[in-house]
Structure 1
Amino acid sequence: MGVLIEKIANELIDAENHQYSVAPLTERFSELTVSDAYQIQLEVIGKKLETGDEIIGKKVGLTSKAMQQMLGVDEPDYGHLLDTMKIEDEATVKIAEFISPKVEAEIGFILEQDLVGPNVNYLDVLMATKYVVPTIEIIDSRISDWKIKLVDTVADNGSSARVVVGKKLSTIEGLDLRTQGMVLHKNNELEATGSGTAALGHPAQAVAWLANKLHEFGITLKAGELILPGALSGAIAVKEGDTILADFGSLGTVSVAFE
């Protein structure tokens, strides 16, 4: 299995680097388990670290019941965020860097303390949080036509691509992140709305799930890391010429344009 894991990791890296998609892993390698898929993801990240990339955080995906039902799973998944994936607020990115991009708005957590599983709860997360920040995650799939099952997206680093980080940093005192609203505009037109409850009922609950899940792999969430707890609405497809603005009310806004 080790040889196959490295082979798939190399394939996914090449697909990302050269903007082409590959046939679903689950159609070609039926023997792959979710555990194997996480090992593929870790192999991909390990190879990127060897070439100079640095881990700046993690992301949680599949936090909504609708997405879990669509993929036939009963828990979220996760991926890694690298320094090469971070984009500044109001930046313009080239659509040619992606295969089939979509965007999601999320309340990002910047940690002040490490979070070590396996018994982390959402209160632990809130106590360990330095700031929350508005973010847009640009997701992309190296799997053709988004024909993904859990194994496919886990191996593909949670279908992650970039993260746009807003300028406003907010402390959590007095905030109810569960009811925190978000309005997403594409080209100045309302595209989606959502609230913090979309992420496992509370964004901090999604971060707690992640800390506990990572314990299985001997990984901890580190102080200073950016954690994305899951989208507050469905993913929105983007193309050349689109501008995306996510407004989180008192938490601020974040935007990105595609050329």
Structure 2
Amino acid sequence: MAGVPGRPHVGAAGSPEPVVLSQVTKTYGRGEAAVQALRGVTIGFSQGTFTAVMGPSGSGKSTLLQCAAGLDTPSDGHVRITGSNISDMSEVQLAELRRDRIGFIFQAFNLVPSLTAEQNVELPLRLAGRKPAKRDVRSALSRVGLDRVGKQRPSQLSGGQQQRVAIARALITRPEVLFADEPTGALDTNTSGEVLTLLRETVERAGQTTIMVTHDPVAAAYADRVIFLADGHIVGHLDNPTAKAVIEQMTRLEG
């Protein structure tokens, strides 16, 4: 897939960056058993852009996503989300940040089996102590093309429909940043394309900042920019990527 028309320019002068990592290092374990997953990573993600994060197995891409989203704490360095240094936050403040300003989409969907699609979409608002407006929930499902499945439970939906419910749930709070961890990893090619097109549209229509970890060059080609990691370092990037260019870069990294 070549460049998508209407993409915002990445890294334009003065453009805000709702997520910034500064010299972030993450070490797991101690002594001889210590493993450095990230090694002094510095990067910013501009508002209203779609970034894919790629790299060989063990490169640190999932750790980068977790640190950027406030799900894991860096061993050193700083992460700023929507202007706030998360290192200075209490667990309660972090939970509020993740609940109110950040959306998450995972490969496994993470829907509650006993709840209907509508109830799953409502869940973040209910956890925040807010009463969901039925019209907002239905509108969220409509945006992802699921107008008629609101009363159905996850077991009654296809994998692609479940992922769309997960996207609607992630967007219901109107988060400033959307994090996606292998969101199409459990889907077939056609369904993956539908989900990626939906993520692309959230960037273009709503100015959503989206950061996605993926191993799929075709998925990465939907992004404005691809960041490549190896051994915990950022080792390259591609703007307006194509699947072919991503494959070539990954081949060099894995060679």
TM-score, reference length from structure 2: 0.24
TM-score, reference length from structure 1: 0.24
Q: Which has the higher strand share?
A: 1
